[in-house]
Structure 1
């Protein structure tokens, strides 16, 4: 029976949650990266940081042992940024242990996954296994704009990729993901007095509204495309025709053909008003990761590993996107969802089931030793 030090895992998770790491807060993220570098070195890895202006990423390589020591590595992918601002822990979501559940900002997405990974690496330290490569990125929650090239580069030559995001609600792994793109639509109009000289003005807000209506009509012409207008900004006073407005829009796609068609159409939008100026930018993009025979074969191997530690595991596609979109799109056998079971990602009731930390660590250790 593999060692299950659940209390130490809970302590580690509490420590990680206490170190708040909002996306884009380079100082907080870099300090957390220091923790990871030290921890991976303690576990026998060779770790390095990859500098990025909004927060550094971490890469660590763990050598193999025994007959598989020279084989291609397994790639494990995670992130240390969260959606929560500094102060969320103190003011809104204090750490809490109750009825077998652990509550706090980032506990489920995805610092619990980082703790699971560390515990698994500790378990297999003196066991035979192929090499392991770990990539932990600092901007996953906004689409990994500075980490995409890093993930692609570190994916080269690996035998399979695994993500430590949260699993499906029943604990199953994720075998495919929708593509995800963030698009910013910016409009420049012309300011004028709204009563004395309205004809001279060009309303950026009116133009933006009409463009968003056009986007809605475009999306409606495709099946299974999700579209969410996440933010709208613009204007200032009701007596001034607004000269600037912008919206950030999130799209989700099930296949690359639809993704390309929709993004081409959106980035090709033209101003409706003669004197309005329009700029459309793709801020981040994760290609659709579609089901494949290679991933199905990997799932079968993981199911056998799970049985070796008394567990059963399934798999199914998921709607959310993550860095595993890229490895799956590149054709690498990929599975995601190795983080602990729980619920409430990006919500104030975010939580994990404490016992699942050890269960997942046992599963990951079995995967490393058998694949």
Structure 2
């Protein structure tokens, strides 16, 4: 059937676009529990239609989804393959009706979430549908769809860890590299919050009685920049800054969230330990540092190379050349790779513009990716 997956998937191209349009139309920003739970219900029903058992896993900011599909034939009792996805996006409700309308033009599909990563959800569903229709032999398949991946999966980390137990390999449905290559390793990623408490006072009549939390925060951020500069190849982005209220009041509170990316666990630990020891510059100021979310570095491995070789062979069986390279971005495959599970990511459709207003995919790569995943599931 290997050569037939490409043809079978091509026959689903129009339906894949329809389903993707339906998914994009149901906007699911991170943290909007009602929107995410409604989409989770949709996924649970879809995986049940495909012959699996699925459930919502409760979380305060939006429920996750876990599904298990039984294997068939001689491989039915073998360890499962794990697929990792997410249904949250970075876009607020209303983005679709504003500056990012759904549109198809010259084989390119635009819209919030088409690339990151509702296209990947449609690709996996289609592959599973093709396998069911052909009654092909395969290992069991396990699926975890996180609701807070875009903010580091703080509530999904334990779930991903638990569902990784006993699997033979893990595959992420995140976008691939621009040329379609898969992702074979990822930088570690941590979000850190620095909170400053100062003391309010009248900025003109009694400034000496105040302790500016904003001034303290600025000095702490300069210290962080200096600290990061002492390490090789650490990425640091101050993503948010808040504080104060009025120009005639010495600000009593301020905070910042910083995103870090690391190539190895030792550097990550050293940087986070150092930042955790920050001391106030001003008398009367208090500094509190907390790690909001963390994804450990996923390093290249011999097991990963072996998995890529098997996936490349599956790709050749459907007429595709599959390559792989290390990625700078982080995702839930960081965790499986760090845990020692052979992992690959980037099985979503080819496109560009993740987290950007020009987010888009190449429509033709939807059935191509579905054929590749069908070949992988039935050959590993």
* Deviation by residue 1:260-309 (Cα, 9 ceiling, x = unmatched): 00001111111111200111110000000000000000000000000000
* Deviation by residue 1:46-65 (Cα, 9 ceiling, x = unmatched): 10110000000000000000
Q: Which residue of 2 aligns with 1:88?
A: 95
Q: Which residue of 1 aligns with 2:218?
A: 209
Q: Which residue of 2 aligns with 1:322?
A: 331
Shift of 1:237: 1.4
Shift of 1:191: 0.5
- Secondary structure of the residue aligned to 1:321 is coil
Give runs of aligned pairs for residues 1-371 of structure 1, distance below 5 A. Answer: 1-2=4-5, 3=8, 4=10, 5-125=12-132, 126-371=135-380
Work out the CA distance in 2 between the residues paired with 1:306 and 1:90: 38
Work out the CA distance in 1 between the residues paired with 2:86 and 2:201: 46
* Deviation by residue 1:20-56 (Cα, 9 ceiling, x = unmatched): 0000000000000000000000000110110000000
Shift of 1:348: 0.5
- Secondary structure of the residue aligned to 1:238 is coil
- Secondary structure of the residue aligned to 1:15 is helix
Work out the CA distance in 1 between the residues paired with 2:232 and 2:160: 30
How many residue pairs get aligned? The number is 371
Structure 1 runs not aligned, ≥5 long:
none
RMSD: 0.5
TM-score of the aligned structures, taking structure 1 as reference length: 1.00
Work out the CA distance in 2 between the residues paired with 1:249 and 1:303: 37
TM-score of the aligned structures, taking structure 2 as reference length: 0.97
Work out the CA distance in 1 between the residues paired with 2:251 and 2:76: 63
- Secondary structure of the residue aligned to 1:136 is strand
Shift of 1:69: 0.5
- Secondary structure of the residue aligned to 2:97 is helix
Structure 2 runs not aligned, ≥5 long:
none
* Deviation by residue 1:127-186 (Cα, 9 ceiling, x = unmatched): 000100000000000000000000000000000000000000100000000000000000
Q: Which runs of structure 1 show a deviation greater than 3 angstroms over 4 or more consecutive aligned residues?
A: none
* Deviation by residue 1:298-338 (Cα, 9 ceiling, x = unmatched): 00000000000000010000000000000000010000000
